[in-house]
Amino acid sequence: MKGTVLVKPNEIQVLELETPEPKAGELRIKLTKVGICGSDVHLFLGHRLLDKALTIGHEGLGYIDKIGEGVQGRTVGERVVIEPNIPCGHCKHCLSGNGNICVNKRVIGVNEAGCFAEYIVVPANFAWKIPDEISDENAVTIEPMAVAVHALFEAKVKPGDAIAVVGLGAIGLLISHLALALGYKVLVTEINNHKVAMATALGAIAAIATGDLAQQTEELSAIWEAHDVEAVFECAGVSHTASLATAATPRGAEIILVGLANQLATFRPLKIAREGIHIVPSIIYKHPFDFKRTIQLIASKVINPSFIISSHYPLQDLQTALSEAAKGHESKVIVNIA
């Protein structure tokens, strides 16, 4: 099969690879479209080093091509989207319903071969059948949409409440889209004017702060207080915005950490404790609930996540696609496999 391999930071090679065979309980998927995620970009740039050369990518859409022994109720040709984080099902976290933090988790495109190739093999329960009423464009965005669904529902806020979203990458835009569709008031903070325009076109309110951290904190505090913000979703994934969120969040509100900043951020424990602010972590999604919810929300026309797609590239141009995604101007790049 034709596939790609990240051989070292900033170098993708297009190669002929061995076509995988499904084992018992598995399905082989012929991939058609794959989204580029921020984590793919970080791997490509070398911000996180892999143990070996690897096919990356995890936002996969395709069709069942071959069925492994023992799999029941699935058919060749069935259109599916891949759930790429596969918990072990046996550790204490999995047994308590928190498979998203499983220490033994298999992660497609990170610790095993990923989706930027013609075929991939996955456990049958992690290939979700897509209803006919969902377009391919919406289907290929189901995985990041599930991250947004999980994040919004991890918070205590309810429709009718006001929330703030800091950072409008794909996940920030999708959280804003979902919240607006469900009746929340949404304020957004982002340095990219085009992405702010995308969010305000959906109905969000721009809350732009300038200056240093202290000035931004003062401005956002006033705006968020005026709009009675009950939850702040930090989606930018950098230490500055994590520090900003903890400094500016209103009394009694929640901070949901969605972005994956790897540098130290700062906060004042006195403010957090005295003002009753709750810090809530949100990482990926829980199997099987969040994918199931996401598919239903799209099928019922509540949400339309394909609006984030900004460009398409063929598989042989993956190097260029990742380089463009790394510039930060794209909202979602899709790689077409066929």
The pLDDT of residue 294:
98
Query: By the 8 A CB rule, do 86 and 126 touch?
Result: yes
Place 160 in a pLDDT band, splitting at 50, 70 and 90.
very high
Other Cβ atoms less than 10 A from the Cβ of 137: the count is 17
Per-residue pLDDT at 48 exceeds 90: no
2-140+309-336 architecture in CATH? Alpha-Beta Complex (3.90)
Fill in the DSSP letter of residue 226. Answer: H
**Which residues of the chain form CATH 3.40.50.720?**
146-281
The pLDDT of residue 51:
85
The pLDDT tens digits of the residues spanning 234-271 come to 999 999 999 999 999 999 999 999 999 889 999 999 99
Which amino acid would we find at residue 113? A
The pLDDT tens digits of the residues spanning 277-334 come to 999 999 999 999 999 999 999 999 999 999 999 999 999 999 999 999 999 999 999 9
List all residues 6 or more positions away from 228 whose beta carbon is below 8 Å from its beta carbon.
Answer: 162, 250
| 99 closest CA partner among 108, 87, 111 | 87
| 29 closest CA partner among 84, 86, 87 | 84
Instruction: Kindly report the backbone phi and psi dihedral angles of residue 93, in degrees, each rounded to the nearest multiple of 5, phi listed first.
Output: -70, -45
Place 50 in a pLDDT band, splitting at 50, 70 and 90.
confident
Element (H, E) at 221: helix 213-226
CATH of domain 146-281: 3.40.50.720
**Which residues of the chain form CATH 3.90.180.10?**
2-140+309-336
Instruction: Kindly report the backbone phi and psi dihedral angles of residue 302, in degrees, each rounded to the nearest multiple of 5, phi listed first.
Output: -70, -40
Give the 3-state secondary structure percentages of the chain, helix then strand then coil, rounded to 5.
Answer: 35, 25, 40
Calculate the average pLDDT of the chain. 97
pTM of structure: 0.97
